[in-house]
């Protein structure tokens, strides 16, 4: 008669946490954190995110909008007419302002009868809230800019406090990114009156 031996019961081997797995997990976390820090500082080195506070740039920019600023725009180039720039306020270095570049170094700016004239050429400015109600004449020396808000009659700008040193410029506003329904690339264009040479270098 055949006899059978009872099958040996299977005893699962106890699982042991592998130290190498924990080390790899910790290394992955550290790599992720380091990458996040590098990206954070890298992005901040080339751009800034700022909130519009006030009404001096209406209708182009509205109070409460968030915009992206290119901080490298003038590292290899110069400000151009029509650029909307964020800068350190010369009168109060603790404050940053945003305005549109109108007069460049070596030019003259005149405002009379609601028209802005740069070196003898009137500008057409469809982006402004209303024509300026003030008059004045300014000469823009080297290293300076003449800037105005698009809401000409409700703006602290060069017609009040004077010229802007180029070294104070932080960067050029390029994009409205918040709120999402107002997302758009910011208009930088300034032109002369129809039939005359455009003053825009874009």
pLDDT at 107 over 80: yes
Q: Are 122 and 108 in contact (CB under 8 A)?
A: no
What pLDDT is stored for residue 34 in this prediction? 64
Give tens-digit pLDDT for 25-84: 677 676 666 665 555 554 454 547 789 999 999 999 999 999 999 998 898 889 999 999
Q: How many CB atoms lie within 10 A of CB 153?
A: 13
DSSP assignment string, 139-184: E--TTEEEEE-SSGGG--SHHHH--EEGGGEEEEEEEEEESGGG-E
- Residue 130 pLDDT class (50, 70, 90 cuts): very high
What pLDDT is stored for residue 202 in this prediction? 30
Give tens-digit pLDDT for 114-128: 999 999 999 999 999
Strand partners for 87 = 97, 169
Give tens-digit pLDDT for 40-52: 554 454 547 789 9
Q: Are 100 and 150 in contact (CB under 8 A)?
A: yes
- Residue numbers annotated as active site: 56, 99
Cis peptide before 59 (omega within 30 of 0): yes
Helix (H) or strand (E) run with residue 121 in it: strand 121-124
The residue count for the chain: 202
Residue ranges of the domains in the chain? Answer: 50-192
What is the distance between the alpha carbons of residues 103 and 98, in angstroms, rounded to a whole number?
A: 15
Pick the range with the lowest mean pLDDT from 2-6, 130-134, 152-156: 2-6
pLDDT at 87 over 60: yes
Mean pLDDT for 129-156 is 96
Give tens-digit pLDDT for 147-191: 999 999 999 999 999 999 999 999 999 989 988 888 888 876 665
What is the distance between the alpha carbons of residues 145 and 88, in angstroms, rounded to a whole number?
A: 13
What is the distance between the alpha carbons of residues 49 and 175, in angstroms, rounded to a whole number?
A: 10
The CATH number for 50-192, chosen from 2.10.109.10, 3.30.1540.10, 3.30.70.980, 2.60.15.10, is 2.10.109.10
| Structure tokens belonging to residue 65 | 């909008």
What pLDDT is stored for residue 116 in this prediction? 97
Considering the entire predicted model, what is its pTM? 0.75
First-to-last alpha carbon distance for the chain, in angstroms, is 103
């Amino acid at each position: 008669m055949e006899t059978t031996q009872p099958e040996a019961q299977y005893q699962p081997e106890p699982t042991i946490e592998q130290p190498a797995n924990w080390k790899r997990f910790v290394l992955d976390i550290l790599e992720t954190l380091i990458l996040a820090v590098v990206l954070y500082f890298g992005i901040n080195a080339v751009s800034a995110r700022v909130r519009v506070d006030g009404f001096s740039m209406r209708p182009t920019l509205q109070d409460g909008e968030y915009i992206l600023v290119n901080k490298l725009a003038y590292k290899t180039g110069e400000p151009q007419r029509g650029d909307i720039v964020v800068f350190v306020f010369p009168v109060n270095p603790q404050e940053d302002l945003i305005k549109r570049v109108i007069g460049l170094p070596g030019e003259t700016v005149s405002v009379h009868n609601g028209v802005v004239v740069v070196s003898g050429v009137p500008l057409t400015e469809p982006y402004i809230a209303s024509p300026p109600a003030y008059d004045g004449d300014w000469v823009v020396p080297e290293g300076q800019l003449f800037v105005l808000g698009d809401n000409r009659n409700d703006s602290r700008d060069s017609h009040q406090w004077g010229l802007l040193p180029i070294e104070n410029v932080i960067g050029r506003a390029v994009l409205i990114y918040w709120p999402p329904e107002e997302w758009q690339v910011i208009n930088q264009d300034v032109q002369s009156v129809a039939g005359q040479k455009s003053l825009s270098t874009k």
